[in-house]
Amino acid sequence: MATTVRLAWCLGIIAISILQPCACQYFPVLDHDKYMYHAIRLSPSSASDANTPDERAANVATHAGCQLLGRIGSLHDHYLLASPKRDLMKRHNHMDVAEVIGAHDHVIWTQQQIPTKRLYKRSGPPTHTNNTISTGSGSGGTVDQASAAKLYFESVTSRLQIKDPGLQHQWHLFNPNQLHNDINVTGVWEQGISGNGTVVCVLDDGVDYEHDDLKDNFNVAGSYDFNDNNPMPRPRLHDDRHGSRIAGEIAAARNNMCGIGVAYNAQISGVRILSADITEAQEAAAVNYAMDVNEIYSCSWGPSDDGRTVDGPGLMVQEAYRTAIEKGRRGLGVIYVFASGNGGGAHDTCNFDGYANSPYSITVAAIDRTNGHPTYSEACTAVLASMYSSGAGSYIFTTDKGNGNCAGNHGGTSAAAPIVSGILALVLEVRPDLSWRDVQHLVVNAAVPFNSSSQPDWEPTYHPERQFSIKFGFGRLDAYKIVQIAKTWKNVAPNTILTTNVSWVDRAIPQDADGISNIIEIGNDAIQKAGLTRIEHVQVVVTISHSRRGDIEVKLTSPNKIESLLAERRSGDMSGDGFQNWTFMTVKHWDEPPLGQWKLTVIDRVNPSKSGTWHSWYLKVWGESNGSTVIPPQPSTTSTATLASPSRGPSSTPNTISVPPSSGVSFAKWIIAGAVVVVLAGMAVVVLGVYKYGRKFFPSSRKRGKGTSASDSYEFKILDDDDEELDNVFGEYHDDAVEEDGGGGDGRLGKTDVSKEGFAGVKLVP
């Protein structure tokens, strides 16, 4: 029986390799002890150049004496090269190869690839602490109202045949103690909307695809393990449970196991990137993997939440996000959902996180079951909406790693973002034609403000019926409301970006509460040239030198007197690097007209012995076009530095690289795969028959010793982190490869400070 199961598994993997060729055409695990790896970006080809990008990259590799490993993910003009270190020993210095590569006419950018830790999970604080500082007024209702609501919920689950035993603990789906403090999803389910036909990718530390709550909804074509270079994203390390918990929140099946997902008929894929050091090239290949299969990417991770880090995606990763927005989901753009971060207790905010404050991201903060603000949840003007998670003594109940295991202590903004991902899967089932910007507009319009009387953070916006809070965004997302709005939503016009000229300030920042201000005026000519009709996102790119970065406050005031607090003081940020072309972002000005004077104010009111100078700033205003002029999304979309003055330190790259994912499985491939599986199955039957009956007629002259079968020990070897043989295969990461959650933001691979020197190993070619 065991042999038959293993045989079936092997046949399945072979079929996967046929149906999903791009997912399985991966490079061998990279050996950083023996080789140096270089990512390159090719220059645009001229009309007279008949060579393909692959041929041009091969020319570069040959010229530099390197091996061409292939294209990096879906980036059509980025390639990875390898140079043996033994050859480097013969050269005068190790930078010769990078210089030769960078000097080639076909190359406009090159970067050495070094694995590093720079992404961390957004897990919740320790479960023994009370994590709320402000408690909302939870609408408890009367005993009669609570009883009636509970009877209604029981009747709904009975009609839908939901019998999952953990449902009683999933208060975020139905909250009997604080009535209406939940996602309001039962009315959507009763319409037969449960995520059918949608695929949500969990970018994390793996997904337990063999768990009974996940296996029926698991999507193989959208999955890959970039840490171990494997088609299946198995959670291998002892603390690789984060992704499985997230997957359960989104799409745990309707069965008799644990609880149920928000979109319990959606499909879940897994891309594993958080369980080992990664390089920037590896990250770039992962973040838009299978972007025509995966529609929503749920991302509960980011740079360190330590209150002193300023970091964002590197140049290749920015390009990967842009590619997914322009070309993913059949040209509609994939949906990125990011957790805002768990550094609130360290006075961190998400505007120092270049993933969370990207216009491409739907950034989600956390609220507890009483609509209170948990201390861990990071606030900033990039937060689009908020969602339920741990706090006030409660947690999120979901699946866990290990078949039959459930988790009752899931939390943090890690748990808030996946619930939004599940809600958006319901939306895409109803309206698969929505663009990435349509979805963001729906979130803005369907978010529900709460506790407006007891929460002083709610502030008016230009829209007369819309409030905004840096803690909660435009409010908590209501599943029923957003699905109903989506049904009749008119798709927005294409986007455009208005970029102003740089305003050179070059003035010392005074030590007072007023600070220093500067104005950029946006006139009618610029608006008409960009074709901009209404604002969606506003980016502010600043360069400020300061001997203590955490003292700086930055505030933007629109022509309509709407203020966005872009940067708050961070007492733990003692870096002297300042902000080198760092990009802040705000969504508070959504739907405002751009015409008029925009004022930026920089304040330094503490520590007189620490001073600074404001050098420059400019605006990038994203919004809806009038159709006459459309400027496509630009590569510099997340908060990061420009090439001339980079704001982050050494970038990362992969232990493995994948070529671009396939855009889907054709009917012909299904036929071929089926034929191959049939042939292989027939061969297997013959082999098994010979094995079974051959021993009867032709007894073996020797016996295999017990435990010597490679297949018998395979599963053990995969899970045994101390196995010496596996160390050589999978690299140097054991149980401590991902740090234990310490309370603030756990397990992410990150650096602490921004480096003035910029990208290590980067050579810019004019």
- Which residues are identified as catalytic? 204, 242, 414
Rounded to an integer, what distance in angstroms lies between the CA atom of residue 257 and that of residue 278? 34
Rounded to an integer, what distance in angstroms lies between the CA atom of residue 178 and that of residue 89? 68
CB atoms inside a 10 Å sphere around CB 161: 7
- With beta carbons less than 8 A apart as the criterion, state whether 79 and 72 touch: yes
- With beta carbons less than 8 A apart as the criterion, state whether 400 and 241 touch: yes
Q: Which two tokens stand for residue 216?
A: 């029926």
SS3 (DSSP) at 57 = helix
Sort residue 627 into left (φ over 0), alpha (ψ -120 to 50) or beta: left
Rounded to an integer, what distance in angstroms lies between the CA atom of residue 442 and that of residue 536? 12
481 burial class (0-12, 13-18, 19+ CB within 10 angstroms)? middle
Rounded to an integer, what distance in angstroms lies between the CA atom of residue 489 and that of residue 14? 43
Rounded to an integer, what distance in angstroms lies between the CA atom of residue 735 and that of residue 738? 7
- With beta carbons less than 8 A apart as the criterion, state whether 279 and 654 touch: yes
Q: Which residues contact 537 (CB under 8 A, 6 or more apart)?
A: 359, 585, 586, 587, 621, 622, 623
Rounded to an integer, what distance in angstroms lies between the CA atom of residue 489 and that of residue 201? 25
Rounded to an integer, what distance in angstroms lies between the CA atom of residue 662 and that of residue 289? 9
Residues 191, 160, 242: CA angle, nearest 5 degrees: 95
- With beta carbons less than 8 A apart as the criterion, state whether 36 and 94 touch: yes
* Residue (of 471, 388, 369, 412) closest to 742 by Cα position: 412
Rounded to an integer, what distance in angstroms lies between the CA atom of residue 411 and that of residue 395? 6
Rounded to an integer, what distance in angstroms lies between the CA atom of residue 495 and that of residue 450? 31
